[in-house]
Structure 1
Amino acid sequence: MSQDSLPLDEYMPYRLAVASSAVSALISTAYESLYGLKIPEWRLIFILREDGPTTQQALVKRAGMDKVTISRAAQALAKRRLITRAPHEHDGRSHHLILTAEGERLYADVAPAAAEYERIMLAGFTPEEVVQFKKLLRRVEEAALKAHNGAEG
């Protein structure tokens, strides 16, 4: 690819964004219709299930979403009693978000569906390709974060 020509369909950030949008559209339609969950909400449920009680600030870093999106998702989940808030023992301005028993039950319903969507999307790959693909995605993410953090500093 020459410097004066940048075919959009060959541009990795574009391909990644289009792929991400396609995956998000597939998953969001199913999660919204089956479970009444928006993508940020199911991400929070999965993170809280995996990480345990977590602050909103930690969720911003872990989920790759902004504060407002995390806050809205947490409010929606709290309203449905899927999560609860507990005071932070060291910071009076912060709270831990905790998955409730109802949130755990919802996770138990959603997780198999999530695994099935992943299986469908990766069905054309060999197991070795899936491992390599996931490693490459993490490397792209790490490189982008490093470049972004370098630009801020």
Structure 2
Amino acid sequence: MASRATPPSRTAGGGGRARSAKRALLSTESSPYYRIWVLTNVTGKPFGLRFGERFDLNLTEWRVLLTVADKPGITAQTLSDFTGLDKMSVSRVVRKLESQGRLARENSEADRRSFHLSLTDEGWAVYGEIAQAAIKREAHVYASLSESELKTLHQLLGKLLLQARNDPTGDEPNE
């Protein structure tokens, strides 16, 4: 992650005296990781206003619906691994979506402790409406990129995701 020291914070009306000699280790302007996080938040922000209350659905629940629609039969464990969500969050979301009649669980024949997830007709109806808006939102965000830039972005994000998954604990090797 790129970092750059920032000037010390100033006190309001303090005559320009530094409040602290400490400096930030990470720059919000030059850290790609931070900027990806902000982009995710900014692009997802309209979701709550447009769909949250109407469908009693938060952004994480939508993302689980999206993933199950794209990967029918996915297990909760694989869903957790694929999305990076912790097992408890996935379990909570699955229970809620199931209670809303949007998600169905089917026991796995291979492992009785595991189950496969799929959307119900109600789940597909909600998915269909939100997915149409998501496609338009993505197109708007990507409109500033050329086809070549978009292809490069997808390739780079894939490489970064693979690298992050190779070290899921975030531990760096000792040097």
Question: What is the TM-score when the length of structure 1 is the normalising length?
Answer: 0.84
CA RMSD for the aligned pairs?
A: 2.5
Query: Unaligned regions of 5+ residues in structure 1, if any?
Result: none
Which residue in the other structure is 1:131 paired with?
Answer: 151
How has the CA–CA distance of structure 1 residues 69 and 4 changed in structure 2, closer, same or farther, with 3 Å as cutoff? closer
From 30, 44, 48, give the equivalent of 2:64.
44
How has the CA–CA distance of structure 1 residues 120 and 93 changed in structure 2, closer, same or farther, with 3 Å as cutoff? same
Mapped to 2, the partners of 1:29 and 1:63 lie a distance apart of: 23
Question: What is the TM-score when the length of structure 2 is the normalising length?
Answer: 0.75
From 31, 36, 47, give the equivalent of 1:16.
36
1:54 aligns with 2:74: yes
Identity, in percent, stands at: 26
Q: CA offset at residue 55 of structure 1? A: 1.4
More displaced 10-residue stretch of structure 1: 25-34 or 113-122: 25-34
1:109 aligns with 2:129: yes
How has the CA–CA distance of structure 1 residues 4 and 98 changed in structure 2, closer, same or farther, with 3 Å as cutoff? closer
1:76 aligns with 2:91: no
Deviations 1:25-70 (A, max 9, x none): 2334433145332122112211211111121101101112111111
In terms of fraction of residues, the more helix-rich structure is 1
1:97 aligns with 2:117: yes
Query: Unaligned regions of 5+ residues in structure 2, if any?
Result: 6-24
